[in-house]
Structures are given as C-alpha cells and as structure tokens.
Structure 1
C-alpha cells in the first residue's frame, strides 16, 4: 500500500509540474468516486491532462476544441459530456447506474470533469469501468479512487485493463 501511495503522490506532482506547451511523458488520468451518504449520491470527478483531452475530442468529434475558451464553453460541455459518458461507467452494488454530467473546469494543465449518480441509499460495492484516453494512448494509466466515509480504496489500471471493483 505504501508503494501505491508513493505512485499516487508522483502522479499528482506530475499534474502540477507539466509546463504549458510541453509534451509530458506520462499518460494518466485520475477518477474519484465519493459516496455522499447525506445526499445519497455518488460524486464523481475525473482529472485529465487538457492537451491530451483536447486532442482526443478533436480527433473523435472532428471539430475545433478549446476547453479554456469561454466562448466555446457550451460546445465543449457537449463534447466533454459525450466523451465521458461513453468512456466511464459505474455499477453500484452490482447494478449499472446512470451518470449525470455536472460540468468541467480547467485547473492549470488539467481538466477536471464532474459527474453524479443520484438515489444511492447505501453502498456495498462500486465497479468502475474506465477507458478514458484508451483511444489515444496504448500506455494510458488510470488511477481510480473509491471513497466511502473514511475508507478509501485506490488502484491503478493499466491499458488494456479497464475495471476496478471496490467492496466495502
């Protein structure tokens, strides 16, 4: 577990140290699923390098992308939503659940995307099926965290693997 914490720390630092316009050698995204018992929701956030994300959106949807341009926010919301809903699926307690897109924001060189699943009264297991940027890189790594109260379960998923199940 100590080794995984070290890897996660390095990956977090990688997101913060990449300079704009510089190619980065690491192809990684992070996804966190947090069970909010009070609101009975799963709160989902994904963090993806913006340059990689813009590149795959432009390639797949054949249109200009600029996630940081406020004038393109509505169009980018549609592309981000379409991409994420087709590359991230969840099961709660063994049953597929519908993700609702909340929005995205730019944070330095990364894009944070927010989704939500409503009407989750209790959680015994969460299965994450994550193929974010798998259609771009064959060395893609997905770091996945599932949090319920004080319990946090984390893993790294290396292409072509795509599933992680956290049992509570």
Structure 2
C-alpha cells in the first residue's frame, strides 16, 4: 500500500512544490491592416509578482484600484523584455491593454506599418529574473502559415522565416 501511495501521490506533491513557468506569445501578421497583432498569455500571479518586485509597489492585477497605473507598468515591462524585428528592422510595440481569464493575464499589443513579413526575429526574456525554469511558447502566423517554437531560460531569442 505504501509503494502504491508513493507512486500516485509523490508526483502530485512534486508538481505542487515545483510549479512550471510558461507563457505563450502569438504574433499574427494582419496584411490588410499592415500590422502585427501580438498577444501574450502570462500566469497572473507570476506577472503581478514580477511587476511588484520591479516597481517596488503593491497592487492586485485582477482588481486593481488604479488600472491606468497597472497598464503603464505592464506596458513598460513588456517593452523592456519583448523585442521584435521584421526583416531585420526593429519595431515599436504599442500596448493596447490586458484581460484576466481564469489564472492568466492576456496582454495585447500591436505594431503598425508592417506591410509584408519574410522574417521575424524576437527576444523574449519576460520573467527570466524571477524564474530560472521560465519557458515561452512562441507562435508566428504570416500569410496563414503558422510556425511555433519554445525557448527556455536563459535562451531568449527565436526566429521565423516565411
């Protein structure tokens, strides 16, 4: 009986003690609008804790008392930790806002003035300072062609060719 308990409950206990750290970033080229539409799904508690540490402040990301201040912190944090180039040209992210969905925060961004994309390069080191095992799933969709990759801390770069 003891061996059976260890077989079933030890993995559950280990996963509770050692959570996984994963975000998902999707970059979609909208050719008619000549934009890149970006969404980042980040566990809310991880993002909130990183922002609290980075800005030496306290707040609740789910029910913020000052939503504009939280939006500013998120925009600045993502701007420092996510850089995107299209065809070798560095691009400027425009933060649009965030939405809470269950245990995740969805952050929405846009890059204007991108009529065509042949190559996307990015650097994403969000939460790397906070979590040595942080990983990022990255999806890029251009001309209805989807490519995906995963990067793990400390690797922060990925590239896609279309």
TM-score of the pair, normalised by structure 2: 0.87
Distance in 2, matches of 1:23 and 1:96, equals 40
Displacement of 1:31 in angstroms is: 0.5
Structure-2 separation of matches of 1:38 and 1:24: 44
Aligned length, in residue pairs: 147
Shift of 1:74: 1.1
The 8 Å contact of residues 66 and 72 in structure 1, kept in 2 or not, is answered as: no
RMSD, matched Cα: 1.3
Q: How many Å separate the matches in 1 of 2:92 and 2:18?
A: 33
1:107-165 Cα distance to aligned partner (Å, 9 max, x none) = 11000001110000110011111001101101000100010132101000011001111
* 1:48-127 mapped onto 2 (5 Å cutoff): 48-127=42-121
C-alpha distance 121-23 of structure 1, shift in aligned 2 (>3 A): farther
User: Is 1:147 equivalent to 2:137 in the alignment?
Assistant: no
Distance 1:31 1:23 in 2: 26
In 2, Cα distance between the equivalents of 1:91 and 1:67?
A: 29
Deviating beyond 6 angstroms after TM superposition, the runs of 4 or more aligned structure 1 residues are: none
Q: Which residue of 1 aligns with 2:28?
A: 34
Q: Choose the corresponding residue for 2:156, options 139, 162, 166.
A: 162
| Cα distance change on mapping 1:114 and 1:163 into 2, 3 Å | same
Is residue 55 of structure 2 the alignment partner of residue 25 of structure 1? no
Task: State the shift of 1:69 in Å.
Answer: 1.3
Look up the match of 2:5. none
Shift of 1:72: 2.2
SS in 1 for 2:95: strand
Specify every segment of 5 or more residues in structure 2 that has no aligned partner in the other structure, as ranges.
1-15
